[in-house]
Amino acid sequence: MRCPACGHKEDKVVDSRATAEESAIRRRRECLKCGKRFTTYEYVEEVSLLVIKKDGRREAWDRKKILAGVIRACEKRPVSVEKMEELVTQVEHSIQKKNDREVQASRIGELVMERLKLIDDVAYVRFASVYRQCKDVGQFMVELKDILGKDKKKK
């Protein structure tokens, strides 16, 4: 590991602990040359996962893309970044449990929507309207009616 400040290759681990979701090990390190402290994360290397897009193309799984979509849907909503990251982690674990090397993009979208619906209705509708490519207000209203119908059943 190179020190980000001076580039020296030797350091010592000062602290080591699992992250909250236990998907990584967080290590605090100190450079033996300049004394600068920095943090590294250790992740288990998973088997590469390919996402099959609607048009049949395959591309590598990118957690950042899913998170970006969730962040966009939750913009100006009372949903913490930790909650959004937890949602993406849950989706990722759900896909990895299947032990498939390929997953349909539509399956990922459905998993995200299932979890968003439990967190925030507005974020869910935003995500669903983009994911399902609502082309007009009529399609958008179908999604809203679905949510409103489920809210009435809860009461």
Secondary structure (DSSP) of 57-110 = -EEE--HHHHHHHHHHHTTTSS--HHHHHHHHHHHHHHHHHTT-SEEEHHHHHH
Run of H or E residues at 43 = strand 37-43
For 82-131, write each residue's pLDDT tens digit.
Answer: 999 999 999 988 888 887 789 999 899 889 989 998 999 889 888 887 77
Q: CA triplet 39, 45, 46: central angle to 5 degrees?
A: 135
155 versus 81: the higher-pLDDT residue is 81
Q: Which positions ≥6 away from 141 have C-beta within 8 Å?
A: none
Please state the separation of Cα 144 from the chain's center in Å.
Answer: 24
What are the sequence ranges of the domains in the chain?
Answer: 11-43, 50-154
For 1-11, write each residue's pLDDT tens digit.
Answer: 899 999 999 99
HSE, side-chain direction, 13 A CA sphere, residue 62:
9
Residue 106 dihedral angles phi and psi, to the nearest 5° = -65, -35
| The pLDDT value given to residue 147 | 64
| The pLDDT value given to residue 16 | 93
The structure tokens 């300049």 sit at: 34
7 versus 137: the higher-pLDDT residue is 7
Q: Looking at the whole model, is its pTM more than 0.85?
A: no
